[in-house]
Amino acid sequence: MIPRYAPREMADLFTDEARFAMWLRVELLATDGWVEVGDVPAEVAEACRARAPVVDAAFVTAVAERERVTDHDVAAFVDVVQSSVGQPEGSWIHYGLTSSDVVDTALCATLTRAADLLVDAAEGLMRACATRARETIDVPVTGRTHGMHAEPTTFGAKFALWALQAGRDVERLRAARRRVAVGKLSGAVGTYSNIDPRVEAHVCEALGLEPTPATQVVARDRHAEYLWACASVGTTIETIATEVRHMARSELGEAEEPFTSGQKGSSAMPHKRNPILSERLCGLARVLRGYLSAGLEDVALWHERDISHSSVERVVLPDASTLTLYMLQRATGLVEGLVLHPERARATLTEGSHGLVFSQSVLLALVAAGLSRDAAYRIVQRDARSAWEEGRSLRSVLEADAEVTLTPDQLDDAFDLARTLRNVHRFTDALEELDP
């Protein structure tokens, strides 16, 4: 992932140094496991651990140089480690293992750590949305369907629904973490032909993983589910960002992104305060969905293994993890700092809509007064059209319509914003079910 979108805490999990360090940890734990089984003397494992190389930039360079000979990264890694440990003890490094035992187990251990960061960040977004929901649950705004004025709602209702969706993302991320928290050290084609299952159990326990039956590789539906959870987070963030973009349009002006001192919205037009963060988040959500598509393509492999998934995962798993964390952090800041304009929202709701947002309330009042639904619908539809075309309030048009027999009190009730929003606290009541 390019540095622009790479939070350090996530990017550090996927450096060459971090990858080789996790490989080395698996190798040394496996040697310890052989000691427990009784096939390797304890002093051999102790020597391997004591003489194990420091995984730093020089080590990465040494592996790269060796790989130019072996054309195999794991083999090159093992050669460099064995050389550092020395003989005869070094011969027990990678004993009974195949490359995927090391790579897949290390990758799953890394993904669990990445998932922990994502869960924490997703919980942060959820909490931010829930806080804004409670703050603004009584602040009215025009609800829209198909981009058109519909009925009144509140800013808090929007935030609450985002919080609930973010909460479901937390659940999906936790489930994906459980799915990838597995390891396998079962050798070529996964039959434990040259390795004792107790070695696998020892390594997995130390890494916080569960041993899993596998071919030569861990089944890739697990990794695809992880990518699905990341893509789902991206889509939630896109949902939030899309709404912000719409509310920030000049014609609406109901909300805007936080604008810092010294910030410039346009290089040419000084008046601009463009929703650039929301637009960026919408674009990056598309990238995350692309990673999911690639991950799904990785699930079907030939027989007991091939490596068509390997090149894909070197890109999509680190990048998806890093990008998802970036998006969560920025989306949380967007929600926390989102500037609302309640006066502009109320003006649109009342004068701007000419009262059309109460059309259903009028319809139902006419039905309750004895009209058939179709007759009532036609009256309100006709008067609503007149109100819009003539720039008059719907109520005034209704009052002048001889077919409308509603009393002033009945019209007051139909156009009562408080009555329309009397149940809106059900949105924030639902937030109590969120797992903090």
How does pLDDT run across 417-433, given as a tens digit for each residue?
999 999 999 999 999 98
pLDDT digits (tens, 9 = 90+) for 117-175: 999 999 999 999 999 999 999 999 999 999 999 999 999 999 999 999 999 999 999 99
Span(s) in the chain for CATH 1.20.200.10? 97-255+272-341+421-436
| Integer Cα distance of 140 and 119 in angstroms | 32
Which residue blocks in 94-220 are alpha helix, DSSP H? 99-136, 155-180, 197-207
For 264-318, write each residue's pLDDT tens digit: 777 667 777 788 999 999 999 999 999 999 999 999 999 999 999 999 999 999 9
Architecture of domain 1-95: Orthogonal Bundle (1.10)
Exposure pattern of 126-147 as b/e (b: 16+ CB <10 Å)?
bbbbbebbbebbebbbbbbeee
Task: In whole angstroms, give the CA distance from residue 145 to residue 246.
Answer: 13
Q: How many CB atoms lie within 10 A of CB 433?
A: 8
Q: Exposed (0-12), middle (13-18) or buried (19+): which is 241, by Cβ within 10 Å? A: buried
State the Cα–Cα distance between residues 314 and 212, nearest whole angstrom: 22
Q: Under a CB-based contact definition with an 8 Å cutoff, are residues 112 and 318 in contact?
A: no
Check if 425 is active-site: no
Query: Do 240 and 331 contact (CB within 8 A), yes or no?
Result: yes
Is 361 a residue of the active site?
Answer: no
Integer-rounded Cα radius of gyration of the chain: 30
Strands 339-340 vs 255-256: parallel, antiparallel or unpaired: antiparallel
Using an 8 Å Cβ cutoff, are 25 and 91 in contact?
A: no
The class that CATH gives domain 356-414 is: mainly alpha
Mean pLDDT computed over 395-403: 95
pLDDT band, residue 93 (cuts 50/70/90): very high
The predicted structure's pLDDT at residue 274: 85
**Non-local CB neighbours of 335 within 8 Å, separated by 6+ positions:** 125, 128, 129, 132, 159, 162, 240
Q: In Å, how far are 107, 198, 321, 395 from 181, measured between CA atoms?
A: 10, 18, 15, 62
Q: Which of residues 434 and 151 earns the better pLDDT score?
A: 151
Q: Measured between alpha carbons, how far is 288 from 23 in angstroms, rounded to an integer?
A: 27
pLDDT tens per residue, range 352-388: 899 999 999 999 999 999 999 999 999 999 999 999 9
Q: Where in the chain is the domain with CATH 1.10.275.10?
A: 1-95
Of 231-240, 250-259, 286-295, the one with minimum mean pLDDT is 250-259
The predicted-structure confidence for 35-66, as pLDDT tens digits, reads as follows 999 999 999 999 999 999 999 999 999 999 99
Of 266, 308, 311, 372, the active-site residue reads 266
The single residue listed with the structure tokens 């008046």 is 271
**Which whole number is the average pLDDT over 221-250?**
97
Is the domain spanning 97-255+272-341+421-436 CATH 1.10.10.10? The answer is: no
